[in-house]
Amino acid sequence: MKANWKELKILGIMLAVFLAAYFVPFEASRFKGGVLEAFYMLQDYARLHVLLCLIPALFIAGAVSVFVSSASVMKYLGPAAKKAVAYAVASVSGAILAVCSCTILPLFSGIYKRGAGLGPAIAFLYSGPAINVLAIVMTARILGLQIGIARAVGAVFFSVIIGLIMHVWFRKEEGERQKKAAGFEGGEEALPMWQTLVYFALMILILIFLNWAKPNSATASGFVVWAYSMKWIISAVLAFLMGLTLHLFYGFNMWKVLITTIAVVIAGFAFPLQPLIPFVTAIVLFSFFLATEKGELKDWLGSTWDFAKLIIPLLFLGVMIAGALLGRPGFEAWIPSRWIEVAVGGNSLLANFFASISGAFMYFATLTEVPILQGLLGSGMGKGPALALLLSGPALSLPSMLVINTVLGFKKTAAFIFLVVIMSTITGYFFGVFFA
């Protein structure tokens, strides 16, 4: 039986390749455009997000899995933790990061594998990209105060409600998972809590400042403008302080910190207009020095690499598929953009559902959803569908779905997607009814 099934799979693959070779319109300009858009989208993602967003997030996730004990995660995010505390911590933690739906994945995977309850983990997964303070401010300023407030309230509400519903739906499975994890919780943290908090705070601040967006010079405050102009220097100082904490708290050799610092300074002066060069220099040297360490420090690099192997291939594949289907903003791919513009006009339930499901499968880089929606609203998109897309789009994408499936499995992933799409649809519809 197994042999027959194997042969059938081979036959199916051969048949699929034959049908594709026979029927795919390779000569059609739209097909060629979709293929090009797939690679352009991948290029944009690689240039804008891999180095400054994804790699720091992978290191943070690896650190969570090595330096944070399961006991600590269970205390604040586990099923036995107070619901108010667990969901408040999950929501606030996500909001602080201000990352996209793909960058949040390593962090979500890290806390979930360390024993976080499904509900708080899902709240964290949704809140990271959705409750982005800067994006909400931009939404209110560009798309209108009503949509900005609705997005902020809806995102906070969604993160908690979706987490609670997921907890109820899968409480039996989660109970079994927690029982299995209970025997591997380990003891208390080897370091005092304040030291762990200082160390992780520095890593999170590095992630935030590396991705500090260029402000609107006409309206931005002095600190926002100053932080953007100084973000590379601030990030470098924070990185040095992180190296110092590694030396003081975990025994990382100080000479390695100094060599990395000197190399980064030299690269900075040698390439003053190419700040990514000193950044890559720091990552390469730091990774090499971690590989020469022993114990937890070496395990940190190994855990980071495990997350990278799990997440990066699926993200790249998902980004390319999204690019081939929908293209970048302003560019045509396999699905004509006019179809989307026509489908999301008005405020019917169908229009809101289409906006929600389209947003769930599209990939939005952080803050790009606002100018995209500005163009769609100008093309006749209703306010309700606009809000529906804002609530589903930043929190989900096809690449993120592929990765979430490897962490949670098909049923839980499908349930999460279903909840995000349905709640976004209903919220968008009622918003459109009251604020048309």
- 83, two tokens: 């619901």
- Residue 380 has a CB neighbour count (10 Å cut-off) of 11
Residue 64 contacts residue 189 (beta carbons within 8 Å): no
Residue 33 forms part of a structural domain: no
- Residue 257 has a CB neighbour count (10 Å cut-off) of 21
Residue 4 forms part of a structural domain: no
Number of structural domains, the chain? 1
| Euclidean distance between the first and the last CA atom of the chain, given in angstroms as a whole number | 60
Residue 335 forms part of a structural domain: yes
Residue 382 forms part of a structural domain: yes
b/e sequence 191-212, b meaning 16+ C-beta within 10 Å: eeeebbebbbebbbbbbbbbbb
Residue 141 contacts residue 88 (beta carbons within 8 Å): no
pLDDT on residue 234:
94
Residue 367 contacts residue 214 (beta carbons within 8 Å): no
Q: Which residues of the chain have pLDDT under 70?
A: 1-3, 69-71, 73-74, 79-80, 93-101, 132-134, 137-138, 178-191, 216-221, 329, 365-368, 371, 374-375, 378-379, 436
- Of the candidates 146, 145, 165, 168, the one whose C-alpha atom is nearest the C-alpha of residue 157 is 165
DSSP state of 65: H
- Of the candidates 312, 307, 318, 313, the one whose C-alpha atom is nearest the C-alpha of residue 113 is 307
Q: Give pTM, 2 decimals.
A: 0.73
pLDDT on residue 410:
92
Residue 386 forms part of a structural domain: yes
b/e sequence 3-30, b meaning 16+ C-beta within 10 Å: eeeeeeeeeeeeeeeeeeeeeeeeeeee
- Of the candidates 243, 228, 231, the one whose C-alpha atom is nearest the C-alpha of residue 282 is 243
- Of the candidates 378, 381, 390, the one whose C-alpha atom is nearest the C-alpha of residue 346 is 381
Residue 12 forms part of a structural domain: no
Q: What is the mean pLDDT of the chain?
A: 83
Residue 37 forms part of a structural domain: no
pLDDT on residue 187:
46
Amino acid at 162: I
pLDDT on residue 186:
46
pLDDT on residue 10:
87
- Residue 328 has a CB neighbour count (10 Å cut-off) of 18
Query: Each residue of 253-300: pLDDT tens digit?
Result: 999 999 999 999 999 999 989 999 999 999 999 999 999 988 889 999
pLDDT on residue 412:
94
Task: State the residue range of the domain holding 298.
Answer: 50-252+293-434
Query: Each residue of 178-210: pLDDT tens digit?
Result: 666 555 444 455 567 788 889 888 998 898 888
DSSP state of 215: P
- The CA distance from 416 to 105, in Å, is 14
Question: Which uninterrupted H or E stretch holds 404?
Answer: helix 398-408
Residue 56 forms part of a structural domain: yes
pLDDT on residue 371:
65
pLDDT on residue 71:
67
pLDDT on residue 106:
84
